[in-house]
């Protein structure tokens, strides 16, 4: 059995010298190296921006969606959408553990887990696509995947359904980063408030901003607006197109006493929402771009172009304790658990 790099560089085929995530193609043969974990995969949770792009390209046809997913994995050795650059995550069962991990990893063969690293860097082999759930961006498959030594994961809890855990863990970084960023008394804007990550962010924003703070949701459609309102976490929910930056800015000021937000969280899955996030935020405030549809060039040049001095944070999907924080929301919030079970279970 060959020795592997903790970060998986031994799997990179093209271009050499890169790590697996930015690499164009990686080795997805399922014979493990000494420091890898082999997983029997049941479900892929495709990143929202990626699934939306694939679905639009396939005109909503499930057979074409399946064909596109299979072709990406066949070409790249991983589920790494070449248009959005994003991946997703998976649920599966531990099939084999490399001998170099003995005594290092608490994992055991047979354990159910969700990977917390992107599919855009995970060696993946799909034998068959069994079912596509377009409404929740999930794909049931028969296949295998590799978790590198450095790869993070969550053993699935016994008190939550697998599909619910997967839906929550897929966006765990958003809620955990919100918990770190929001302070008591802050005005917080959540763009994409009625979506999966947005709903979790509303909970954490309300919890951290407290009764002296203000939580404002922005939703593009009436259904998502009502969903955000039903949580009870928002002081106001604005119905607006997040690509219309000036309208978003004016409506935020309108419901926030003429002030802009201290913190803006962008959770949408479409492009061209960077300037709405920036203009909705006061000078000296913080914008957290969780969305993988974000162009960070557009964000940087856009802020410069409108003369806005804001701190902009790249949507790191990982922050310490993010899995535990996000799963705990399902235990703390009956209203959110009900919404998530209706949408994702």
Cα distance between residue 276 and residue 206, in whole Å: 21
Coil/strand/helix, residue 244? coil
More confident residue, 319 or 339: 339
- Does the pLDDT value for residue 223 go beyond 90? yes
Q: Residues 147-199: pLDDT tens digits?
A: 999 999 999 998 998 888 988 988 888 999 999 999 999 999 999 999 999 99
More confident residue, 48 or 232: 232
The three-state DSSP-derived secondary structure of 115-147 is: ECCCCCCCCEEEEEEEEEEHHHCEEEEEEEEEE
What whole-number percentage of the chain has pLDDT above 70? 100
- Does the pLDDT value for residue 292 go beyond 80? no
Of 26-40, 52-66, 156-170, 242-256, give the lowest mean pLDDT range. 156-170
The closest alpha carbon to 45, from 180, 203, 205, 156, belongs to 156
* CA-to-CA separations, 218 to 152, 195, 265, 296, 304, in angstroms, rounded: 32, 10, 10, 21, 24
Q: Specify the pLDDT at position 114.
A: 93
- The average confidence (pLDDT) of the chain is 94
Q: What angle do CA 56, 60, 64 make, to 5 degrees?
A: 95
Query: For 103, what's the count of Cα atoms within 13 Å in the CB-facing half-sphere?
Result: 2
Mean pLDDT to the nearest integer, 320-325: 88
3-state helix, strand and coil shares in percent for the chain, rounded to the nearest 5? 35, 25, 40
Burial class from Cβ neighbours inside 10 Å (0-12, 13-18, 19+) for residue 68 reads middle
Q: Which CATH superfamily is domain 172-344 in?
A: NAD(P)-binding Rossmann-like Domain (3.40.50.720)
- Does the pLDDT value for residue 321 go beyond 90? no
Query: 334-344 vs 162-169: helix axis angle to the nearest 10?
Result: 100
- Does the pLDDT value for residue 38 go beyond 80? yes
Of 90-94, 128-132, 156-160, give the lowest mean pLDDT range. 156-160
Provide CB contacts within 8 A for 276, sequence distance 6+. 191, 218, 242, 243, 244, 245, 248, 249
Cα distance between residue 48 and residue 306, in whole Å: 29
Which part of the chain is CATH 3.40.50.720? 172-344
Task: Give residue 211's Cα distance to chain centre.
Answer: 28
Q: Specify the pLDDT at position 216.
A: 98
Mean pLDDT to the nearest integer, 202-228: 97
Mean pLDDT to the nearest integer, 294-315: 93
- Does the pLDDT value for residue 269 go beyond 90? no
């Amino acid at each position: 059995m060959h020795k592997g790099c903790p970060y998986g560089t031994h799997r990179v085929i093209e271009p050499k010298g890169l790590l697996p995530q930015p690499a164009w193609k990686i080795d997805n043969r399922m014979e493990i190296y000494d420091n890898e974990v082999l997983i029997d995969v049941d479900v892929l949770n495709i990143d929202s921006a990626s699934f939306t792009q694939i679905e639009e390209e396939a005109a909503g046809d499930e057979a074409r969606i399946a064909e596109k997913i299979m072709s990406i994995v066949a070409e790249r050795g991983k589920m790494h959408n070449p248009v959005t650059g994003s991946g997703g995550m998976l649920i599966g069962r531990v099939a084999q553990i490399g001998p170099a991990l003995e005594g290092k990893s608490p994992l055991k063969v047979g354990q159910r887990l969700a990977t917390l690293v992107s599919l855009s860097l995970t060696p993946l082999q799909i034998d068959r696509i069994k079912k596509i759930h377009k409404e929740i961006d999930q794909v049931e498959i028969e296949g295998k995947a590799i978790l590198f030594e450095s790869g993070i994961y969550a053993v699935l809890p016994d008190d939550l359904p697998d599909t619910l855990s997967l839906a929550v863990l897929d966006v765990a970084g958003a809620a955990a980063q919100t918990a770190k960023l929001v302070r008591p008394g802050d005005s917080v804007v959540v763009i994409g408030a009625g979506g999966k990550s947005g709903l979790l962010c509303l909970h954490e924003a309300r919890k951290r901003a407290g009764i002296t703070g203000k939580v404002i949701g922005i939703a593009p459609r009436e259904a998502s607006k009502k969903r955000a309102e039903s949580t009870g976490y928002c002081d106001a929910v604005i119905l607006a197109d997040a690509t219309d930056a000036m309208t978003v800015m004016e409506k935020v000021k309108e419901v926030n006493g003429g002030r802009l937000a201290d913190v803006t969280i962008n959770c949408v899955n479409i492009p061209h929402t960077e300037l709405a996030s920036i203009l909705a935020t006061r000078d000296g405030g913080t914008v957290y771009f969780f969305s993988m549809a974000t162009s960070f060039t557009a964000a940087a040049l856009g802020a410069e172009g409108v003369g806005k001095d804001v701190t902009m944070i790249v949507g790191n999907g990982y922050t310490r304790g993010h899995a535990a924080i996000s799963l705990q929301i399902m235990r703390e919030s009956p209203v959110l658990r009900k919404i998530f079970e209706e949408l994702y279970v």
